[in-house]
Chain A
Amino acid sequence: MSNELRIAVSEEKGSTPVTIMYVSGDLDSKTYLDLEAKASDVIAGGAKNILLDLHEVHFMGSAGLRAMHAMSVKLKDTGGQLKLLNPSDQVARVLKTLGFDKFFDIHATRDAALKSF
């Protein structure tokens, strides 16, 4: 019934290192803190740039935006960035409805996203 939140992390060690966080399941008011916590761990471990892969997110509410906002602020403090990759239709709807699509860098493909950092 519920699609629990799952997060996997990988590192791209190109000219600009990027940490990719693959998120799947439901990102709601129950689970958004898990995303924030994982991002905090990743940032504490030295990550400056994070690419959030949202293709497999089945549901996202405004709490997901809360998490992204927190992540973005933390990364800005270290001179880094948060960017978004290939949001699912439902996620794209939430981003667009609240205008977050104009303020986040959103890419359709992994290659384009990585090149943009």
Chain B
Amino acid sequence: MGDDRIRVRASLDALALVREFVERRATAAGFSKDGAAELVLAVDEAITNSVEHGLRGNEGRIEVSVVPQRDGLRVIIRDDAALFDPTRATATQLDLSPLDRAKPGGFGVELMHRLVDGVDYRVTGNGQNELTLLKTRR
């Protein structure tokens, strides 16, 4: 099975389309309902971050590729947003009540890290953000 990819306009309107794409691919790759749901959620957080913080409402494109691995899937997300490395985002302090944390908006990156088995970031040769999420089949 080869790569599979979609390109969408970088807009919150595209979130549901990307979720459905990832869910179909994860199910086809043998993920359980729970495993697929976790991957979908992680990708959704990554895309949302890109749209909300990186592109700041400006038109741009996001490309999502799903690459089968022997024991799971790699999801590669490329966009033209302002460069942002979510692997360097500071984790929120878990000993505080979520309701007491200063900025609840930071949960997305934390959630993404907790739902997959690996997160990798790089800047591509043509200056795009490239975020890779790795999830072992379960």
Contacts and interface: CB of A to CB of B under 8 A. Distances in A.
Nearest to B12: A30
Contacts of A29: 12, 15, 48, 51-52
A61 B108 contact: yes
Interface string A19-34: 0000000101110000
Contacts of A45: none
Nearest to B111: A62
> DSSP majority for the B interface?
helix
Interface string A28-69: 111000000000000000000000000000010111011001
Size category of the B interface is: 20 to 34
Nearest to A82: B99
Interface of B: 12-13, 15-17, 19-20, 34, 37-38, 40-41, 44-45, 48, 51-52, 94, 97-99, 104-105, 107-108, 110-111, 114-115
